[in-house]
Amino acid sequence: MLGIAAPLAAAGVWGRFVAPKARRPVSLPVRLSIEIDLFVVASLALWFADARGLALGSLGIATSVLNALTEHEGIPGQRTTNGPGV
């Protein structure tokens, strides 16, 4: 039952709040928090299913994608500099 309910719940959360055409879009910090939570839970599920390589690969890819997303869109309130000494 959990094997069916958990992915459906994750898909529902993703579709409602995070997807590009989300019904209820949220601010970027909330969106990043939801994305990180979903990727961590999915990676933990893989880890405990003895698919440790997939779990580590999933976390690595998620980290890279989320890092690129924050650099591209920026996080409100985050201080940025234009270079050393600025």
Neighbours of 58 (CB within 10 A): 19
Question: What are the residue boundaries of the structural domains of the chain, listed by start?
Answer: 26-74
- What's residue 56's pLDDT? 92
Integer Cα distance of 17 and 12 in angstroms: 8
In single-letter form, the type of residue at position 4 comes to I
- Report DSSP state, residue 69: H
Query: Which tens digits make up the pLDDT trace of 10-32?
Result: 899 888 988 888 888 888 888 88
Structure tokens at 74: 């920026």
Q: In the block, which residue shows the tokens 């779990």?
A: 55
Give pLDDT, residue 54.
Answer: 92
Cα 54 from Cα 44, distance rounded (Å): 10
> With a threshold of 0.75, does the pTM exceed it?
no
Task: Using the predicted structure, report yes or no on whether residue 78 has a pLDDT greater than 80.
Answer: no
